[in-house]
Structure 1
Amino acid sequence: MKFTLSWLKTHLVTDAELPTILKTLNAIGLEVEGVENPAEKLGAFKIAKVLTAERHPQADKLQVLTVDHGDGTPLQVVCGAPNARAGLVGVFGVEGAVVPVNGMVLKKTAIRGVESNGMMCSYRELELGEDHDGIIELAAEAPVGQVYAQWAGLDDPVIDVSVTPNRQDCMGVRGIARDLAAAGLGTLNDIIVPEIVGEGPGPDVRIEDTDGCPAFYARVVRGVRNGASPDWMAKQLKAIGQKPISALVDITNYIMIDLGRPLHVYDLATLQGGLVARKGRAGEQVLALNGKTYTVDETMTVIADDEAVHDIGGIMGGEHSGAQDGTTDVLIECAYFTPERIAVTGQKLGLTSDARGRFERGVDPAFLDDGLSIATFLVTHLCGGTPSEATRAGAAPVTAKVVDYAPERCLTLAGVDVPAYEQQHILEQLGFGIAIETSSVEYQDGMPVNTPARWQVTVPSWRRDVDGWPDIVEEVVRIVGLDQVPSTPLPRLPGVARPTATAEQLVERRVRRTAAARGLAEAINWSFISEKEAASVGGGHWMLANPISEELKVMRPSLLPGLLSAAARNMDRGAASVRLFELGRRYFAQGERATVGFVLAGEKVPRGWRSGKAQPFDAFDAKAEVLALLAGAGAPVANLQNFWEASAAYHPGQSGTLRLGPKVVLAEYGVLHPNLAKAFDLTGTVVAGEIFLDAIPAKRKSGFMRPPYAPPALQAVKRDFAFLVPADVEADALVRAVRGADKKAIVDARLFDLFVGPGVEEGYKSLAVEVTLQPGEKSFAQEELEAISAAVVKAAQKLGASLRG
C-alpha cells in the first residue's frame, strides 16, 4: 500500500515529522517496507531558460543551445529535441547529475565536434511521465536557477506499507491515518459526504447472485466531458506508480486508494439493457481492461447486460464498456462482493488487481451510499454532467457486532497494564463504540465483593477481522506499541528437564553432524520447485493451487533439483569444488518423507603442484558418503546389500541402491545422468545421493543398558581366499556369503582384489577376499581354522565359485 506524505495529511492533521510517522507505523503493526522521495534523485536538475538556439554545423537534426541555469554563466548544450527554441523554459541537468531513467552520469562531452555541457531533459528521462517527444516546457514565469523538484512540489516522500491480510481497513489512506490518530500523532479529519440531488430515475441494475454480490448500488451521470485529470489528482496517482488515464478512470482509482472503496465506471452507450450481477455461464468470455480474455464459469460472479459480460465482479472491468475519451453518459457502480467468492475467482483465473486485493480482504459494507455519493460528486465536479437518482439493489451485510470486554483483560492476556480510560480513548479513536456498565458491589457469604466494570464494545463496520475480546486486547496493545509488551520468561519447573527431541529429530541431528564433519556444506532450499524441475526427477505429486510463482509450483519429490541448482550457482561463481548436503522433506501422494541429499561437483582433489591433474568425483565417492551418512543415522550398514536399480536421475551402470533385503531401499547414489546435469547447466562429472531416513528401521527399545566395551583378549587372525567366480556374480554377494559362513568366528570380510586376464578362463573373474577371524577364550587350533576355511569355500561354492589354485 503506497501513499504520499501529503496524501496522508489530507486525512490527518499532524505536525509530526516523517521519521516519527515511520517509527509509529512500525510500532502499531503497519510495517514500512520502504520510503522514497522523488526530490532526492532530482536535486541536480534545475529550471533553465534557452537564450539562443542555432543549427548544429555537422547535423541537421541537432541544435546548439545557449542555456541560462541561474549561476550567471550561460552554458552551451547540444540538443536534438524538436521543440528546443530560444525563450523556452525547461529542466536542465548540470554536469555530474545522474539521469533517473538510465543512470547515466552527465559530463562535458563533444557531440559531432561541438562541446556540450549537461542536458535539457524530457519527462521520461526524469521518470515523471512517458512523454519523450521533446524536452519539458515550463511556464515562462518559472524561476530560473531553482531546483525543479522543489518548484514543482515533488518533495513529497512516498511511503510503502505492508498491510497484513486481516487489516482491510488499512487498504486505504484514511484507515492508516485513523491508526496514526489513535496512536497520538494528530487528529483525524471528518469525511465530507456530499448530498447528491438526482434528476430522473436511477439505472436498471439488479442482482441474481446474492451469494456473490449481496448489494449493487448505481447511479447514472449524463452529459459528462471526459478528459485529463486535474493536476492534484494526477500528481498523487503518479507518485505511487499509478498511470493517469482519464478523469473518469482516475476518479475510481483515487477513491479506491484514498478510502479503500473500489468502484467501476461504465460507458452507458456500450450497454444493451440493464446490468445484472449474476453467476457466469459456461463458455462466457470477457476481454478485461488488461487486454487479456478470460473464460468465466458458474462459480464466478459477473456483471452483464442483456448481451454480454462486462465485468468480472469485484476484480476487473471489461475493455468494451470502460470509459473512453468520447464517453458522455456513464453508469457508476458501487457494489459489495463476497470476499470468499472474490478469492476463489481470482485464483481460478490467475488474475490480480487492486480491486481484488481489497474486496477479498473485505471492504466496508456500510460505505456503499457514501462511496457512491463521493464518486458522483467528483465526476460532476471534474467532468460536469447531471446525476440521476441512485438505484439500490440488494442490501449490504451490515450487522452490528458487539463484544463483551473487561479492561483488566489487557493485562491478563498481553502483560501490558493500560489504564481503562486510555483503552477507551484508543478504541474510540479507532471507531469502536463503547457502552460501560458501571462497577457494583455484590455480597458473597455476607462479605462485599467488587464487580469490575463490563464494557459492550461495538465493532465498526470496516473491521471485519475483530471477533472477540482477544482482538480488542490486540487493538489496544498495538496502538500502545508492541514494543511495550514485556519479555517475561516462562517459569522453570523443578528438577531435570525431560528430553523434548523425538527419535526422528535425534537421527537428523546425528546425520547433520556427520555430513558437516565430512566437509559437506549445508544448503537450505525451497520445498517448492517448478514443473520442469519436478519432471526431471520423475514428476511431482503435490501441486500448489496458489503458488508464489510458476517456478515454485510443485512440492518437491526429490531434494536433487534444489541441490543441483545451488551447485550450479556456486560453479558459475568460480567454485572449483562443491560439496553440498540438505536435510529436508520429499512430498508424495502418501505423505512427506524425511530425506538427506547431497551433491559433489567439480574437483575432488584440486589441481596443484603436488596432485598434478585435477581429479573428478566418481560413483565410489558417492557410495562412501552414503555409507557414512547411513552409519551416522544408525542404520545397520554391515547388513546392507548393493543393487544396481537406481532411479532415472542417475547414470546407468555408474549408480546403485543400498537395501535391507530386495524391497527396503535405504539410499541411492551414483553419477548424475548426463541429461539431468545438462538440464541444470552443470558440466563435468557430478555425483549425488539420497538417504531415505524414514526407511531406516527404528532401534529396538530395551530396558537394559548397553554393555561396556571390552576389547578382545586375543589377537585376530586373517586369512586370504582367492575365488574363481562367474562374471555375472556380484562381488558383494560373494563377500556376504563368506561373512555368513561362520557368524561366530568371522567378524569381517572384505574384497581386496579383482583380476581378469591370463590364467582366468573366459566368463570368469578372480575375486580375493580377506577374512578376519576373532578367537574367543582361546586361540584357534589348526583343526578349527581348517573347518572355518572349509565352511568359507562351501559358502562360496553355492554361488558357483571355486577356490583358485
Structure 2
Amino acid sequence: MQFPESWLREFCNPPLSTQQIADVLTMGGLEVEDLRPVAPPFSKIVVGEIKEAVQHPNADRLRVCQVDVGQGDLLNIVCGAPNARPGIRVPCALVGAELPPGDDGKPFLIRLGKLRGVESQGMLCSARELKLSDDHGGLLELPADSPLGRDVREVLQLDDHVFTLKLTPNLAHALSVYGVARELSALTGAPLQVPAYPAVPPVHDEKLKVTVTAPDLCGRFSGRVVRNVNTKAATPQWMVDRLARCGQRSVTALVDISNYVMFEFGRPSHIFDRDKIRGGLDVRWGRPGEQLKLLNGTTITVDEKVGVIADGDQVESLAGIMGGDATAVSDDTRHVYVEAAFWWPQAVQGRSRRYNFSTDAGHRFERGVDPSLTVEHIDRITRLILDICGGEAGPMDDQVLRMPEQKPVSLRVARASRIIGMPIDAAQCLEAFRRLGLPAQAAGDVITVTPPAYRFDLAIEEDLVEEVARIIGYENLPTTAPLAPITAMLPPESRRSRFAVRRLLAGLGYQETINFSFVEERWEKDLAGNADPIRLLNPIASQMGVMRSSLVGSLLHVLKFNLDRKAERVRVFELGRVFMRDASVQTTDATVRGVRQPMRVAGLAYGEPDGLQWARKTSGADFFDAKGDVEALLAPRTATFEAAEHPALHPGRCARILLDGREVGVVGELHPRWRQGWEFPHAPVLFELDLDAVVERQVPAFVPVPRFQPAERDLALIVADAVTHSQLVDAIRDADTAGLLRDVLLFDVYKPKQPVAGMGQDEKSMAVRLTLASPDATLTDDQIEAAVTAVVDNVVRQVGGRLRS
C-alpha cells in the first residue's frame, strides 16, 4: 500500500512530523516499509512562461527563448527541448539554482554562461532533470494557471512524502488512504474527517437489467448508467499526481477516476461501455469452456469455480478481479455503466493465481471489502465523472442479496490482561474500542464487541486483545522475563544429529548442496523408475513439475553445472526429503494423506579421488571409493553389500546396502546410458541412503584392551570366478565355532592372464589374512592350526574352494 502524506493528512492531520507518523503507524501494526520524499532537493527553480522561441543562429537543434519568471525583465535562455514553444509554462532554473545531484552524487549548479555564442541566463527543465520521472522527451509542461515566479516545489507540492506500508492479510481495512487515516486517528487521538457522500440526483430513468444468480459469489450489486460522458477529457493534474504517488500511472479519465476512488476508500469498481453490453448483466459462476479476453490482453478459460459477469452474448468480466476487453471504455464511448459490488472473499481467493497474475482489485476483495457503502462510493465516482467528463446520471440500482453476518465477539478483561502482560481494566478496553470505532458493551468483566462492516478480521477473543494492545502501544508494554521450567531435551545416545552426518561427509571431502524438491518428470522416470510421480498443481517452472522420489537427479544436475564451468573434481552431497505415494499414510500435523516423505542422504563423487598428484594415477573415482565412503559414514555399524540393479546405476557396478539384513540404500556407478545422455566425460559414482539408518548408531560399550597377542595367518584360496568376496567371508566366519576369529581381510586377488598349473581358466586366487585371538590365554600352535584347518574345510564345502599350493 503506497500513498502520499498530503492525502493522508486531508483525512487525519495529527501534530506530528512525517517520521513520527511513520513510527506511530509501525508501532500500531501498520509497518512502514519505506518512506521517501516525492522529489529530491533542489532550489531556485520557479515557474516561467516562454514568451518567444527563435532558432539559435549557430545551432540547428537549439532555440533562444525569452522567458518571463515574474521579475519584470525577460530572461534569455538557450534550450534544446523539442517542445520549447511560446505560451507554455515550464520549470525555470535561475542563475545560482541547484539541480538534483547527478550520478556522482554532487548537485548541479546553474551559472551564467554562453551556448554557441549566445548568453543563457538560466535553464528550462524536464521532469528527468528534476528527478521527478524518467521522461526526457521535452520540457515539463506545468498547468497554464501556475503562478509565474512561484517555486516549483510549492506549485507541484513536491515537499511531500510517499509512505509504503507492508500490511498483513488481516489489515484489509487499511488498504486505502481513508483506512490508514482511520487507524492513525485511533492511534493518535487526532480527529478524523469523515467523508460525505452527497447523492447524485438522476437526470434520466434508464436502468440496466442486472440478475445476480449466484448469491454465494456476490452479496450486493450496485450500479447506474451515466449518459453522454466525454471520455476524451483530460484527467486533472492533481489526480494524476496523486495516482502517480500511489504507484499508478494515468490511463484515461474514467479509468483514473475508478482507480482514484479505490485508493481513496479501498473499494475497487468497474466502468463498462454501456453500448457494448448486449441485453442485461448476469452475475454468476462460470461455465466450463467459456473464454474471456481480459483488459491486460490475456485470454483465459473459466470454469464453474470462477465468478464472472456476463451479458446476453458472452462473459464480460472476471468477478472481483479484472474487467474484460469487450466492454472496455474507449475514446468512442458515450454512455457508461458504473458498477460497485460486494464479492465474498472466499469466492475470489486464489482465482488470480490460477491465471498467474494479480490485481489491486483481487488483492482487496479476497481480504474483504466493506459491503455497506457500495451506493455511496458509486455516488462519489459519479460526482467525479460529472465534474471531469460531464454527463447525465441515471437512477441507482442497488440489489442486496446476502450480507456478511456481524457476529459479536466477547473479551474477558482479566484474560486480556494476562495475554498483554500488564494490568488493564474495562475502562481502558472500552476506550480502545471507542477510538477504533468498534461498538462495544460491557457486562461486568466481559466486553462484547460487534465488528463493523469493514472489519473482517475480528472473529475471536484474541483479535480483540490485539486491538487493545495496539491502542495501548506495543512500545508501552512492560518487559517481563518469562518464567518457565527449562528441561534439557537431550537426544538419545543411540542417534546422532543430522549436523553430525553433515560434518562427517564434509570430513570425507564432500560439499553440501541444497536443491529444489520439485524436479523434471524425465528424471523421475529415468533415474528412479517412477512412472507415476506426485505432480504439482501450479509449478514455478515447466521443468519443475513433479516432486522428487530420489536425490540422484539433483546431484547429477549439480555435477553438470560444475562440469560446464570446467570443474575437474566434484564431490557433493545433499541431505533432503523425498516424496513417494503411499496409500497407508494419513493426514496429520506432519504428514499428508497418501504421501510418504522420508529423509535421505545422497552423495556423488567425480574425478580424481585425491586430486591431481604424482603418486597415484587413476581414471577417477570408482565404485570402491564410494563404497568406502559409505562404510565410513555408517561406522561403527558394519554394512553388507549385495549386487543389485537400479534404474540410475550401471547393472554390473551397483550394490544394495544392508544393515542387519534390512536394505537402507544403494551405491554404484552411473548407468552408461545416462552418462552419455548427460554428456559426462567419465561416469560418476553415487550413493543414496535412508537418513534414519545413518543417524542410528551403537551406544559405545567398554571393551578391555586385549591382554594376549593375536596371531595372524595368510591363506591363498582358489575359488571359482563366480564366488564373491561376501560369500568367501561368510564361509570363513561360519567355520569359527571356537570364537577365535577376530577379523578377515582380503588383501589380494590374482587372476592369471596365461594358463597356470593348478588353476583353471574360470578360477581366481583370493588371499585373506585371518586374525585369531583368545581373551583368556595366548593361542597355541595346535589351536591356530585347528582353526585354519576348519576354515579351509568350510571353504571347500560352501564355495567349492581349495588351498592354493
TM over 0.5: yes
Deviation at 1:685, TM superposition (A): 7.2
**In structure 1, C-alpha distance between the alignment counterparts of 2:713 and 2:279, rounded to whole Å:** 100
**In structure 1, C-alpha distance between the alignment counterparts of 2:690 and 2:627, rounded to whole Å:** 14
Aligned CA distance change for structure 1 residues 535 and 36 (closer, same or farther; 3 Å): farther
* Letter aligned with residue 469 of structure 1: E
Aligned CA distance change for structure 1 residues 228 and 668 (closer, same or farther; 3 Å): farther
Task: Tell me, yes or no, if the aligned pair for 2:670 and 2:686 is still in contact at 8 Å.
Answer: yes
**In structure 1, C-alpha distance between the alignment counterparts of 2:539 and 2:31, rounded to whole Å:** 24
Aligned CA distance change for structure 1 residues 586 and 487 (closer, same or farther; 3 Å): farther
* Letter aligned with residue 283 of structure 2: A
Number of the residue aligned with 1:754: 749
Partner SS state of residue 771, structure 1:
strand
Equivalent of residue 693 in structure 1, options 691, 702, 705: 691
**In structure 2, C-alpha distance between the alignment counterparts of 1:206 and 1:527, rounded to whole Å:** 47
Deviation at 1:208, TM superposition (A): 0.7
- Is the counterpart of residue 172 in structure 1 residue 167 in structure 2? no
**In structure 1, C-alpha distance between the alignment counterparts of 2:456 and 2:536, rounded to whole Å:** 28
Deviation at 1:283, TM superposition (A): 1.3
Number of the residue aligned with 1:182: 186
Aligned CA distance change for structure 1 residues 482 and 518 (closer, same or farther; 3 Å): farther
**In structure 1, C-alpha distance between the alignment counterparts of 2:731 and 2:55, rounded to whole Å:** 99
Task: Tell me, yes or no, if the aligned pair for 1:44 and 1:97 is still in contact at 8 Å.
Answer: no
Per-residue CA distance 1:8-39 (angstroms, 9 max, x = gap):
22322123223223323332222333334342
Task: Tell me, yes or no, if the aligned pair for 2:795 and 2:802 is still in contact at 8 Å.
Answer: yes
Flag structure 2 segments of 5+ consecutive residues without an equivalent: 70-74, 111-115, 583-595
* Letter aligned with residue 305 of structure 2: T
Per-residue CA distance 1:488-529 (angstroms, 9 max, x = gap):
4554449xx464647897553542443355465555555455
Per-residue CA distance 1:192-243 (angstroms, 9 max, x = gap):
2122222314321111111112221111111111133211221122223322
Number of the residue aligned with 1:384: 390
Deviation at 1:99, TM superposition (A): 6.8
Per-residue CA distance 1:28-87 (angstroms, 9 max, x = gap):
222333334342398999999998754887xx7x558899999xxx999995x6446799
TM alignment of 1:5-16, pairs within 5 A: 5-16=5-16
Deviation at 1:253, TM superposition (A): 1.6
* Letter aligned with residue 664 of structure 2: V
Equivalent of residue 307 in structure 1, options 313, 330, 349: 313
Number of the residue aligned with 1:666: 665
Deviation at 1:458, TM superposition (A): 1.5
**In structure 1, C-alpha distance between the alignment counterparts of 2:654 and 2:19, rounded to whole Å:** 61
Number of the residue aligned with 2:21: 21
Partner SS state of residue 417, structure 2:
helix
Number of the residue aligned with 2:39: 39
Deviation at 1:592, TM superposition (A): 0.7
Task: Tell me, yes or no, if the aligned pair for 2:98 and 2:107 is still in contact at 8 Å.
Answer: no
Number of the residue aligned with 2:467: 475
Deviation at 1:566, TM superposition (A): 6.8
**In structure 2, C-alpha distance between the alignment counterparts of 1:231 and 1:738, rounded to whole Å:** 96
Aligned CA distance change for structure 1 residues 404 and 748 (closer, same or farther; 3 Å): same
Per-residue CA distance 1:328-384 (angstroms, 9 max, x = gap):
111111111121121243343334211111111111122222222222222222221
Number of the residue aligned with 2:585: none
Aligned CA distance change for structure 1 residues 40 and 660 (closer, same or farther; 3 Å): same
* Number of matched pairs: 766
* Letter aligned with residue 264 of structure 1: H
Number of the residue aligned with 2:227: 222
Task: Tell me, yes or no, if the aligned pair for 2:100 and 2:130 is still in contact at 8 Å.
Answer: no
Partner SS state of residue 218, structure 2:
coil
Deviates further, 316-325 or 529-538: 529-538
CA RMSD of aligned residues (A): 4.7
**In structure 1, C-alpha distance between the alignment counterparts of 2:499 and 2:751, rounded to whole Å:** 44
Per-residue CA distance 1:163-207 (angstroms, 9 max, x = gap):
222222122222222222222173322122122222314321111
- Is the counterpart of residue 710 in structure 1 residue 714 in structure 2? no
* Letter aligned with residue 688 of structure 2: E
Partner SS state of residue 459, structure 1:
coil
* Letter aligned with residue 199 of structure 2: E
* Letter aligned with residue 598 of structure 2: R
Deviates further, 287-296 or 198-207: 198-207
Given the two structures, how large is their TM-score scaled by the length of structure 2? 0.81
Deviates further, 723-732 or 319-328: 723-732
Deviation at 1:317, TM superposition (A): 0.8
- Is the counterpart of residue 768 in structure 1 residue 762 in structure 2? no
Deviates further, 409-418 or 217-226: 409-418
Aligned CA distance change for structure 1 residues 305 and 551 (closer, same or farther; 3 Å): same
Number of the residue aligned with 2:289: 283
Deviates further, 708-717 or 741-750: 741-750
Deviation at 1:304, TM superposition (A): 0.5
Task: Tell me, yes or no, if the aligned pair for 1:233 and 1:254 is still in contact at 8 Å.
Answer: yes
Deviation at 1:467, TM superposition (A): 1.1
**In structure 2, C-alpha distance between the alignment counterparts of 1:132 and 1:428, rounded to whole Å:** 51
Partner SS state of residue 428, structure 1:
helix
* Letter aligned with residue 235 of structure 1: D
Deviation at 1:294, TM superposition (A): 0.6
Aligned CA distance change for structure 1 residues 774 and 517 (closer, same or farther; 3 Å): same
* Letter aligned with residue 321 of structure 2: I
- Is the counterpart of residue 458 in structure 1 residue 456 in structure 2? no
TM alignment of 1:313-328, pairs within 5 A: 313-328=319-334
Aligned CA distance change for structure 1 residues 272 and 144 (closer, same or farther; 3 Å): closer
Number of the residue aligned with 1:30: 30
Deviation at 1:264, TM superposition (A): 0.8
Deviates further, 713-722 or 504-513: 504-513
- Is the counterpart of residue 242 in structure 1 residue 248 in structure 2? yes
TM alignment of 1:519-530, pairs within 5 A: 520=510, 522-523=512-513, 527-528=517-518
Number of the residue aligned with 1:640: 640
**In structure 1, C-alpha distance between the alignment counterparts of 2:787 and 2:291, rounded to whole Å:** 84
Partner SS state of residue 206, structure 1:
strand
Task: Tell me, yes or no, if the aligned pair for 2:626 and 2:667 is still in contact at 8 Å.
Answer: no
Number of the residue aligned with 1:623: 627
Deviates further, 31-40 or 45-54: 45-54
**In structure 2, C-alpha distance between the alignment counterparts of 1:598 and 1:413, rounded to whole Å:** 49
Task: Tell me, yes or no, if the aligned pair for 1:336 and 1:396 is still in contact at 8 Å.
Answer: no
Equivalent of residue 433 in structure 1, options 430, 439, 457: 439
Aligned CA distance change for structure 1 residues 64 and 592 (closer, same or farther; 3 Å): same
**In structure 1, C-alpha distance between the alignment counterparts of 2:174 and 2:781, rounded to whole Å:** 91
Q: Percent identity?
A: 32
Deviates further, 254-263 or 754-763: 754-763
Per-residue CA distance 1:248-284 (angstroms, 9 max, x = gap):
1112222222222111110001000111101212211
Aligned CA distance change for structure 1 residues 618 and 698 (closer, same or farther; 3 Å): closer
- Is the counterpart of residue 202 in structure 1 residue 207 in structure 2? yes
Number of the residue aligned with 1:587: 579
Task: Tell me, yes or no, if the aligned pair for 1:48 and 1:68 is still in contact at 8 Å.
Answer: yes
* Letter aligned with residue 325 of structure 1: D
Equivalent of residue 736 in structure 2, options 732, 739, 742: 742
- Is the counterpart of residue 4 in structure 1 residue 4 in structure 2? yes
* Letter aligned with residue 634 of structure 2: L
Per-residue CA distance 1:380-436 (angstroms, 9 max, x = gap):
222211111111223341423212223332212221334543332222222211123
Task: Tell me, yes or no, if the aligned pair for 2:222 and 2:340 is still in contact at 8 Å.
Answer: yes
